[in-house]
Amino acid sequence: MAQKRSFLNLLKSSDVPVLVDFYADWCAPCRTLSPVVKEVASSMHGKIKVIKVDVDKNQQAAHKYGIRSIPTLILFYKGKLVWKKAGLMRRKDLLSAMESAIKNIV
């Protein structure tokens, strides 16, 4: 239960948008997307925070946010879902989506 509160607290209390990467260790597309997410977060210089959620270990969170396929990325701001995308994305497409989403919420 403490993990759940920490996850929700992070989503609500972060001063920057939080990009959540829902994944599983056995998922090949998830392993492909992981370095892309890291590169985008790094190139945004602190404008977003990234956390990874293993859907096998956190089934409640996956269910709560309607994760039907992985990888799925969800951007939250002040606890509210502001952007969601399932499947692989190219670096430039993810970067563009994050920059656009941030412009609309900040």
Q: Are 23 and 30 in contact (CB under 8 A)?
A: yes
Altogether, the residues listed in the chain come to a count of: 106
The active-site residue, picked from 11, 19, 20, 30, is 30
Domain at 11-101: CATH architecture: 3-Layer(aba) Sandwich (3.40)
Known catalytic membership, residue 27: yes
Domains of the chain, residue spans: 11-101
What DSSP state is assigned to residue 1?
A: -
Q: What is the structure's pLDDT at 6? A: 78
pLDDT digits (tens, 9 = 90+) for 4-61: 557 888 888 888 999 999 999 999 999 999 999 999 999 999 899 999 999 999 999 8
The active-site residue, picked from 19, 20, 27, 44, is 27
Judged by phi (left if over 0) then psi (alpha if -120 to 50, else beta), residue 26 lies in alpha
Question: What pTM value is reported for the model?
Answer: 0.91
Judged by phi (left if over 0) then psi (alpha if -120 to 50, else beta), residue 92 lies in alpha
